Each structure stands twice: as structure tokens, then as C-alpha cells.
Chain A
Amino acid sequence: MLSMNTKRPVNLDMLSIKLPLTAIASILHRISGFILVFIIGFFLYLLDCSLQSESTFTLLVKQLNQGWIQSMIWLFLSAFIYHFCAGIKHLLMDMGYGESKTSGRIAAGFCLLISVVISILLGVWMVC
């Protein structure tokens, strides 16, 4: 660390940096993980309701049709699918696949595309 040049120029204006596709994929991995941390608390509460007794289970099943709970489930699954795909991409890269600039960009795009398609299909399926 001592040999590192500590006076390197730093771009302070984050918004002036144009994010490439791989950076967007990376920041979304963080955002989706951050969202999941919060929603998991809500899902633990639902799990508690589902296992307490038959009456709380029945009540929960009825409540599941409510719009805001459906939205929470959709948000959870969408965030999870993206986080999952991006995680698989990471594991593959750890194993040495797709480490070049081009393949990294393709993997990031593929990851985004797959999760967006699944999220939309999921939303349509839940509404219908």
C-alpha cells in the first residue's frame, strides 16, 4: 500500500461519468440486493403468519390477493431473479469464463434481458 500513489486524480462528479452496460449491471446487483434485505423482513413476517395456526394461514391466503402484497411479491421475485442472474454471472467469471471486455458486456446484457423478460412475464401472469 505504501507504494501506491495517493495523489492520483479523482473524478468527484459521479454523475459526469457515463456508465457502461457492465457498470449498470453491477450497480443493479447492489440495488437489488439492498431491496431484498428489506423485503426479506416482510417475508419472514408472512412466513410467521403462515405457520402459526390454520386460522392465520387462511387469513394470509385471503390477504395475498391484495394489490400491495402482490406488488411486494413481484418486487421481491424481480429483484431476486436479477440478483440471482448477476450472481451466476459472477460465479462463472470467477471460474474464468467471460472475462474479456466483449464477453463481459454480452453477459451483462444477457443478464439484464433475461431478468427483465422474466419480470414482465411474471407480472402478466400475476395480474391474469
Chain B
Amino acid sequence: MLNNATSLSRSGLRDWLIQRATAIILSAYFIFILVYLFRHPHLTYYEWHALFSNTWVKIFSVMALIAMVLHSWIGLWTISTDYFIARFQGSKAVYIRLAFQGFFALLLLIYLLFGVQILWGVSS
């Protein structure tokens, strides 16, 4: 059994539940944006800007952003702990796994901060 120090909640059951809850938020957000784009085929900057300056849309967007980061982390963690294990890569496995996890932890942190900056920066 692998050390689960890098898992999101250090509980398989809780990770499983977070993965489902974030999936529902992400689906709702994707459908919301898709419906909006279909209803505005000739979208202008002013309409688009007005959408993202709405406080509720900001909250929903940041919520989706956080959901995406958590959902991605659980998925990537699962991939790394399934494929980068001693049985496949021997004693090097732990280094490969940590490098993989470190890279994606950094990437997702950048996504989170960049995303918050974009969304919160839209003037109301």
C-alpha cells in the first residue's frame, strides 16, 4: 500500500466524495457557459464583460475554478499512484511520482492564482 501523504484529504472515501461533488459543480458551470454562448451567437465585448462582472457569476466561476483544481488533483494523484510504483519503476518510482505530483501541484496552483486574478479583476 502506498503512502498517502500527498492525497488531497488523506481519506480515500473523502477524495471519492470530493471528486463527485466537484464533478457536479464543473458540469453545471460548463452547461451554464455553453447555454450562454449558444444564446449569444454574435457576442460583443460588452455583453461578455457584463456577464463576468456579475457578482454571482464571479462566485460561480471561482467556485468552478477551485472545483477544477481539486478534481484535477485527485485525478492526477490517482494516476501517479497507479503507474509510478515500485513494481513498475523499482526504487526510482518514488522520485518519479514526487516529480510528477510536484509538477502538477505547481501547475494547478498557478491555474488557481491566475484564474482568481482574471475573474476577480473584472470591474463591476
Contact present for B30 and A84 (CB under 8 Å)? yes
Contact present for B72 and A37 (CB under 8 Å)? yes
Q: How far is the CA of A1 from the CA of B1 in the complex (A)?
A: 8
A-B contact count (CB 8 A): 52
CB of A12 to closest CB in B, whole Å? 8
Interface residue B76 (Cβ < 8 Å from any Cβ of A): yes
Q: Is the interface of B mostly helix, strand, loop or mixed?
A: helix
Interface residue A74 (Cβ < 8 Å from any Cβ of B): no
Q: How many residues of B contact A (CB 8 A)?
A: 26
Contacts of A50 in B (CB 8 A): 45, 48
Show the binding face of A for B, using Cβ within 8 Å: 1, 10, 12, 30, 33-34, 36-37, 40-41, 44, 47-48, 50-51, 54, 57-58, 80, 84, 87, 91, 94
Since A51-B122, A54-B46, A91-B23 are in contact, a sample of 9 more A-B pairs with Cβ atoms closer than 8 Å, ordered by chain A residue number, is A30-B75, A37-B72, A37-B75, A37-B76, A41-B107, A41-B111, A44-B114, A50-B45, A51-B118
